[in-house]
Amino acid sequence: MITSFFHSVVYAPIYNALALFIGWIPGGDIGIAIILITVLVKLILFPLAVKASHTQRAMRRLEPELKTLRDTYKDKPQDLALKTMALYKANKINPFASIVVLIIQLPVILGLYWVIWAESKTGTFDPAILYPFVHAPTEVSFTFLGLLPIAGSSIILAILVAVTQYYQTQLMMPNAPEKTGKGFQDDLATSMHIQMRYVFPVVLGVISYVATSAVALYFLTSNFFGIIQELTAKARHDKEYGS
């Protein structure tokens, strides 16, 4: 049931979009087609993603009030949760906005990976999966710009993914909180901050190298969009609340 749903809702649309774009691109460059698919996905998600980034900045602005709540209700977790959600509601903040964007993108990444994996094995598109208005491209190139094999790994793309992810994270996250050593929660927050800022870009770079250049291209294009998204959210937030 889940497999059938994934095939119909994720795999088949990506498969057909890839075939459609490849048919339009001179030389059938599958790498360019992947970039176009990523741009399409990010454009669809852009309003939601900018809202999520705006929400993160708004939550950052409320950090002093959140810290006061944590200190006041540190021994009453249920009251803390209720007061925190009330504060979010009063400021029209949805703390789960970023998670929604991530959940939506994850099936796309998996679908893209499986589509490229399947196509690299056969080199042809299956007419049974194609929609009636989509024709199988007559020419398909698995070498991006005639330089990088899409079905293989690229250390260059992996490094670019790590660098752009690091820059995007710099835009997303505030300065690291000081490690006070006075509480497990403060020290954990500091550790998580360091991991997100420095470790996650490296991990994403490794994944990009292991999971083929196709996935790396998706991450790289996605990171560029993420940078634009963060700059847009910052400009919107600064206009509304001041720098």
- The answer on pLDDT for 157 being more than 80 is yes
pLDDT band at 66 (very low <50, low <70, confident <90, very high): confident
Amino acid, res. 125: F
Residue with structure tokens 């949760």?
A: 81
Q: How many CA atoms lie within 13 A of 156 on its CB side?
A: 6
- The answer on pLDDT for 129 being more than 70 is yes
Neighbours of 201 (CB within 10 A): 21
* Confidence at residue 184, expressed as pLDDT on a 0 to 100 scale: 45
pLDDT band at 162 (very low <50, low <70, confident <90, very high): very high
Is 149 in contact with 142 (CB distance < 8 Å)?
yes
Range 123-145 average pLDDT? 84
pLDDT band at 98 (very low <50, low <70, confident <90, very high): low
- The answer on pLDDT for 27 being more than 80 is yes
* Confidence at residue 158, expressed as pLDDT on a 0 to 100 scale: 92
What the block records as the tokens of 223 is 């990171």
Max Cα distance, the chain (Å) = 67
Q: How many CA atoms lie within 13 A of 144 on its CB side?
A: 23
* Confidence at residue 195, expressed as pLDDT on a 0 to 100 scale: 63
Residues 6+ apart with CB under 8 A from 216: 154, 157, 158, 160, 161, 208, 209
* Confidence at residue 175, expressed as pLDDT on a 0 to 100 scale: 53
* Confidence at residue 241, expressed as pLDDT on a 0 to 100 scale: 60
Return the exposure string of 51-71: e unless at least 16 CB atoms fall within 10 Å of the residue's CB, then b.
bbbbbbbbbeebeeebeebee
Query: Whole-model pTM?
Result: 0.73
Residues 6+ apart with CB under 8 A from 117: 151, 212
Amino acid, res. 119: E
